[in-house]
Amino acid sequence: FVNSSNAMKSKILQAAIEIDEDYREYIQNRDRGDKIIQLKNKEDNQKSQNSLLFQ
């Protein structure tokens, strides 16, 4: 990288910035998905507990 031309450094940095933005978006979406899964599992657990109580 140090020995690259300015144009090449610019392309490398731009690509790194784009990857970083994509990764941040991926992490946010993954975290949201985990929360949704946790809520769904909690609801499913409560439903199964309720069905056990009423059997």
Q: Give the integer Cα–Cα distance in Å for 44 and 24.
A: 30
User: Residue 47: what pLDDT?
Assistant: 60
| CB of 1 closer than 8 Å to CB of 12 | yes
Q: Is the pTM of this model over 0.75?
A: no
Would you say 43 and 36 are in contact if contact means Cβ atoms under 8 Å apart?
A: no
The whole-number average pLDDT for the span 10-30 is: 92
